[in-house]
A and B are shown apart, each in its own frame.
Chain A
Amino acid sequence: MGEKITKVFNPAETLNEIENKFEMFQILNEKGEVVNPDALPDLSDDELVELMTRMVYTRILDQRSISLNRQGRLGFYAPTAGQEASQLASHFALEKDDWILPGYRDVPQIVWHGLPLWKAFLFSRGHFVGNQIPEGVNVVPPQIIIGAQYVQTAGVALGLKKRGSKTVAITYTGDGGSSQGDFYEGINFAGAQKTPAIFIVQNNQYAISTPREVQTAAKTIAQKGIAAGIPSTLVDGMDALAVYVATKDARDRAVRGEGPSLIETMCYRYGPHTMSGDDPTRYRTSDIDNEWAAKDPIVRFRIFLEGKGLWNEQKETEVIERAKEEIKEAIKKADETPKQKVTDLISNMFEELPHNLKEQYEIYKAKESK
Chain B
Amino acid sequence: MAQMTMIQAITDALRCELKNDDNVLVFGEDVGVNGGVFRATEGLQKEFGVDRVFDTPLAESGIGGLAVGLCLTGFRPVPEIQFFGFVYEVMDSISGQLARYRYRTGNTFNMPVTIRSPFGGGVHTPEMHSDSLEGLMAQQPGLKVVIPSTPYDAKGLLISSIRDNDPVVFLEHLKLYRSFREEVPEESYTIPLGKADVKREGTDLSIFAYGLMVHESLRAAEELAKEGYSVEVVDLRTISPLDIDTIVASVEKTNRAIVVQEAQKQAGIAANVVAEINERAILSLEAPVLRVAAPDTIYPFPQAENIWLPNYKDIIETAKKVLTF
Point out residues on A near B: beta carbons under 8 Å.
99, 128-129, 131-133, 140-141, 145, 148, 150-160, 162-163, 169, 181-182, 185-186, 188-189, 192, 344-345, 347-351, 354-357
List, in ascending order, chain B residues with CB within 8 A of A189's CB. 56-57, 59, 62, 65-66
From known contacts A345-B103, A349-B142, infer whether A150 and B65 are also in contact, taking CB-CB under 8 Å. Answer: yes
**Are the C-beta atoms of A155 and B72 separated by less than 8 Å?**
yes
The listed residue (B56, B107, B244) touching A355 by CB distance below 8 A is: B244
CA distance A99 to B73 in the complex (A): 10
List, in ascending order, chain A residues with CB within 8 A of B74's CB. 159, 163
**Are the C-beta atoms of B65 and A185 separated by less than 8 Å?**
yes
B191 CB, min distance to chain A CBs, angstroms? 16
List, in ascending order, chain A residues with CB within 8 A of B65's CB. 148, 150-155, 182, 185-186, 189
CA distance A354 to B75 in the complex (A): 24
List, in ascending order, chain A residues with CB within 8 A of B109's CB. 133, 140
**Are the C-beta atoms of B72 and A347 separated by less than 8 Å?**
no
List, in ascending order, chain A residues with CB within 8 A of B190's CB. none
List, in ascending order, chain A residues with CB within 8 A of B97's CB. 145, 148, 152
List, in ascending order, chain A residues with CB within 8 A of B105's CB. 128, 131-133, 140-141
CA distance A71 to B51 in the complex (A): 53
**Are the C-beta atoms of B62 and A154 separated by less than 8 Å?**
yes
Question: Which partner residue on chain A sits nearest B96 by CB separation?
Answer: A145
The listed residue (B62, B106, B141, B194) touching A186 by CB distance below 8 A is: B62
CA distance A152 to B92 in the complex (A): 11
Q: List 19 A-B contacts (CB under 8 A).
A: A133-B109, A148-B96, A151-B65, A151-B66, A151-B68, A152-B72, A154-B66, A155-B73, A159-B69, A163-B73, A181-B59, A181-B61, A182-B62, A186-B65, A188-B59, A189-B56, A350-B142, A356-B244, A357-B241
List, in ascending order, chain B residues with CB within 8 A of A140's CB. 72, 105, 109
The listed residue (A128, A129, A349, A351) touching B165 by CB distance below 8 A is: A351
**Are the C-beta atoms of A159 and B72 separated by less than 8 Å?**
yes
CA distance A348 to B99 in the complex (A): 11
In this complex, the member of B92, B194, B242 whose beta carbon has the largest number of chain A beta carbons within 10 angstroms is B92
Q: Which of B20-67 contact A (CB under 8 A)?
A: 25, 51, 56-57, 59, 61-62, 64-67
List, in ascending order, chain B residues with CB within 8 A of A355's CB. 194, 241-242, 244-245
Asked if B255 is at the interface of the complex by the 8 Å CB criterion, the answer is no
Count how many chain B residues have C-beta atoms less than 8 Å from C-beta atoms of the other chain. 43
CA distance A157 to B105 in the complex (A): 20
List, in ascending order, chain B residues with CB within 8 A of A99's CB. 72-73
CA distance A155 to B70 in the complex (A): 5
Question: Which partner residue on chain B sits nearest A228 by CB separation?
Answer: B57
A164 CB, min distance to chain B CBs, angstroms? 11
List, in ascending order, chain A residues with CB within 8 A of B72's CB. 99, 140, 152, 155-156, 159
B79 CB, min distance to chain A CBs, angstroms? 10
List, in ascending order, chain B residues with CB within 8 A of A157's CB. 69
A100 CB, min distance to chain B CBs, angstroms? 11
**Are the C-beta atoms of A128 and B106 separated by less than 8 Å?**
yes
Asked if B324 is at the interface of the complex by the 8 Å CB criterion, the answer is no
List, in ascending order, chain A residues with CB within 8 A of B194's CB. 354-355
**Are the C-beta atoms of B103 and A151 separated by less than 8 Å?**
no
CA distance A355 to B97 in the complex (A): 23
**Are the C-beta atoms of A151 and B245 separated by less than 8 Å?**
no
A230 CB, min distance to chain B CBs, angstroms? 13
List, in ascending order, chain A residues with CB within 8 A of B166's CB. 350-351
In this complex, the member of B61, B71, B92, B102 whose beta carbon has the largest number of chain A beta carbons within 10 angstroms is B61
Asked if B110 is at the interface of the complex by the 8 Å CB criterion, the answer is yes
**Are the C-beta atoms of B108 and A153 separated by less than 8 Å?**
no
Q: Which of B169-205 contact A (CB under 8 A)?
A: 194
List, in ascending order, chain A residues with CB within 8 A of B66's CB. 151, 154-155, 158, 189
